[in-house]
Amino acid sequence: MLSSSSAYALPVGLLSLLTLGLSGTDARATPAPLGQTISLSRRTPTRRDGVSAEEWLQQNRLATHAKYGLGTSGGQRKRASGMNALTDLQYDSTYFGSIAVGTPPTSFNVILDTGSSDLWLASDESATSRASGDIPLFDSTSSSTFKDLGQSFGITYGSGAAQGTLGSDSVQFAGFEVNQTFGLVNQTSASLLTSPISGLMGLGFQTIAASGATPFWQSLAETSGALDESLFAFHITRFTNDTSANLQEAGGTFTLGATNSSLFTGNIDYQDIPDGAPGYWIQELTGLKVNGQSITLPSGSNAWAAIDTGTTGVGLPSSIQQEVFAAIPNSQAGSGTTEGYYLYPCSTEVTVEVTWGSSSTSWSISSADFAFQQVSDNTCAGAFFEISSEGSSAPPFIFGDTFLKNVYSVYRSSPASVGFASLSSAALAVNGGNDPVPSATIGSVASVTPTSTGTTKSPVSSSSAGRAIHVTSAAALFSVFIGAFAALL
Ligand SMILES: *[C@@H]1O[C@H](CO)[C@@H](O)[C@H](O)[C@H]1NC(C)=O
Ligand SMILES: *[C@@H]1O[C@H](CO)[C@@H](O)[C@H](O)[C@H]1NC(C)=O
Ligand SMILES: *[C@@H]1O[C@H](CO)[C@@H](O)[C@H](O)[C@H]1NC(C)=O
Ligand SMILES: *[C@@H]1O[C@H](CO)[C@@H](O)[C@H](O)[C@H]1NC(C)=O
């Protein structure tokens, strides 16, 4: 469906939610056929290079991705925390970090996705035939610690399927190392890889990992004393309304095992995951105001939202979407390639306020973030797009980066909850700024602790700071190599 020259696969979290519970090659979420062509003109502040606005919108709504892996990982000795510097790709479309895999370690850029729970990497050219640019591949033969687990797997996309095998290897991320099971993708029928991204790391709970794998972060959280706190946190940046932004910009900071007090102010307002049954990072949406008007919301599980860094916009049921846009003058439902979205005059300022759980605090979504994509001279598509989670275990709402750019977000496993705090001025200063795109650094791992089920090592320091040495074996292969990771051997 996408041409190879414009094959940007954007938010991966969304349909991962919708395809949960499916396995193998079931390709249920079929993209709508391309409808009529609407004339597009670029609104300077919102560009998606290499892909037309309509393609981008459609991909945004339909893109999906894989989930696979297997249980992993063993002991852990040192209490610690670590960080990973993020890159903002394509004006807030995707945020990725960097992991290092194998022995010797090779680095890969992966989308960090709180809306799914499996790790996978492209491992074969055929997996990337429809992707744009050069996608670095994981080569299992170059790692002395790689283990083929002898199992095949399938991955469901919006428009088809991907397949590969399961393997395990040492994976380093944010200063920690875990013997992790992950998917090696050798076949895709739709594009979800965009250079320089090679795969995806799911940061949801193990209960929604398609294969039952324990996600990287959760292995550490469940290992007594491994993390200072059983949580991770995101600060992600905004470049959507920066007319001089580059395709890649500083994307913010991921922190594992701690929060970073320089990035937020005030208290972190934690609300429990409802029903104490974590899978997605669920919050109950208890308040939604658009231009000052309160939107009527369902209650209980009908108001559940996945807090999802891997989705670019905000997905919601069509009846609620209608009410949201009824509060925005001169808006109308899109059709054809903008089906599922609403269009409204770009000049309209839209204020959105969101309340979670029993909290009395509300969080705003900026008008700049609500103006998702310009589709013609004066017309914008709003970031709130229709999804239907019927028949899946996915919640009816998905709050992605459109919302998360406006807060510091914390994902805590014990007690299972999500917290939000106000961004600090230091964090806000990165938006639209000139901070460098992260580059690879190298640290060291303090201890190696093999166990019967795997190997987990703890980091030397509490940050990714380390000697700035590029990983030559890997970098040489890449036309573009960015990202930062904490602890290489
Ligand atoms: C992918 O790997 C599987 C399992 O080894 C194999 O059966 C399949 O033919 C491979 N597909 C491609 C496109 O290489
Ligand atoms: C906190 O975040 C800032 C900005 O990303 C970073 O420079 C600093 O190293 C972080 N501190 C810790 C302890 O991770
Ligand atoms: C982008 O949007 C943010 C949030 O509304 C705003 O604070 C900032 O000034 C805007 N930047 C530009 C360049 O318009
Ligand atoms: C890593 O985990 C896999 C799967 O549990 C296991 O087969 C393998 O032996 C482990 N590798 C190491 C080095 O412990």
Is a pLDDT exceeding 90 seen at residue 275?
no
Contact 416, 273 (CB under 8 A): yes
CA-CA distance, 447 to 386, in Å (whole number)?
48
Do 131 and 117 sit in the same domain of this protein?
yes
Do 75 and 203 sit in the same domain of this protein?
yes
Do 9 and 153 sit in the same domain of this protein?
yes
Is the distance from the beta carbon of residue 414 to the nearest atom of ligand 4 less than 6 Å? Answer: no
Do 159 and 135 sit in the same domain of this protein?
yes
The Å distance, Cα 98 to ligand 3 centre, comes to: 28
| Domain total in the chain | 2
Token pair listed for 55:
């393609």
Looking at the CA of 148, which ligand is closest? 4
Which ligand 3 atom is the nearest neighbour of the CA of 241? 1
- Which range has highest mean pLDDT (44-58, 77-91, 182-196)? 77-91
pLDDT (tens digit, 9 = 90+) per residue, 6-65? 222 223 333 333 322 222 222 222 222 222 222 222 233 334 444 456 555 655 544 322
Q: What's the rounded mean pLDDT across residues 388-404?
A: 89
Q: What's the rounded mean pLDDT across residues 182-191?
A: 79
Looking at per-residue pLDDT, the higher value among 252 and 277 belongs to: 252
Q: What is the pLDDT of residue 162?
A: 63
Residue 333 within any structural domain of the chain: yes
The Å distance, Cα 185 to ligand 1 centre, comes to: 9
Is the distance from the beta carbon of residue 121 to the nearest atom of ligand 2 less than 6 Å? Answer: no
Do 46 and 75 sit in the same domain of this protein?
yes
If 0-12 CB within 10 Å is exposed, 13-18 middle and 19+ buried, where does residue 377 land?
Answer: exposed
Phi/psi region, residue 454 (left: phi>0; alpha: psi -120 to 50; beta: rest), is left
Is the distance from the beta carbon of residue 167 to the nearest atom of ligand 4 less than 6 Å? Answer: no
User: Which residue, by CA, sits nearest to atom 2 of ligand 1?
Assistant: 164
Is the distance from the beta carbon of residue 37 to the nearest atom of ligand 4 less than 6 Å? Answer: no
CATH of the domain at 355: 2.40.70.10
Residue in the block written with tokens 């056929």: 33
Of residues 114, 177, 128, the one with CA closest to residue 487: 177
Looking at the CA of 186, which ligand is closest? 1
How does residue 189 score in pLDDT terms, banded at 50, 70 and 90?
low
Q: Which of 161-165, 193-197, 298-302, 477-481 is predicted least confidently?
A: 477-481
User: Which residue, by CA, sits nearest to atom 10 of ligand 4?
Assistant: 454
Contact 159, 1 (CB under 8 A): yes
CA-CA distance, 6 to 164, in Å (whole number)?
24
Which residues have any ligand 1 atom within 6 Å of their CB? Answer: 124, 126, 152, 163-165, 186-187
Token pair listed for 30:
């079929």
Q: What are phi and psi of 208, to 5 degrees?
A: -110, 10
Do 454 and 338 sit in the same domain of this protein?
no
The Å distance, Cα 150 to ligand 4 centre, comes to: 13
The Å distance, Cα 304 to ligand 1 centre, comes to: 38
Show the domain range for 207: 4-229+437-475
Contact 317, 396 (CB under 8 A): yes
Q: What's the rounded mean pLDDT across residues 282-309?
A: 97
Do 218 and 244 sit in the same domain of this protein?
no
Q: What's the rounded mean pLDDT across residues 136-148?
A: 95
Is the distance from the beta carbon of residue 242 to the nearest atom of ligand 3 less than 6 Å? Answer: yes
CA-CA distance, 215 to 73, in Å (whole number)?
10
Do 185 and 323 sit in the same domain of this protein?
no
CA-CA distance, 23 to 307, in Å (whole number)?
23
Do 73 and 123 sit in the same domain of this protein?
yes
Do 345 and 421 sit in the same domain of this protein?
yes
Is the distance from the beta carbon of residue 260 to the nearest atom of ligand 2 less than 6 Å? Answer: yes
459-462: list long-range contacts, CB under 8 Å, 24+ apart: 459/78, 459/80, 459/82, 459/175, 459/176, 459/177, 459/486, 459/487, 460/175, 460/487, 461/82, 461/175, 462/80, 462/81, 462/82, 462/175, 462/228, 462/258
Mean of pLDDT over the chain: 76
pTM: 0.80
Catalytic residues: 113, 308
Q: What CA–CA distances, in Å, run from 213 to 64, 168, 172, 396?
A: 19, 11, 17, 25
Do 171 and 298 sit in the same domain of this protein?
no
Q: What's the rounded mean pLDDT across residues 339-343?
A: 97
Do 466 and 344 sit in the same domain of this protein?
no
Looking at the CA of 351, which ligand is closest? 3
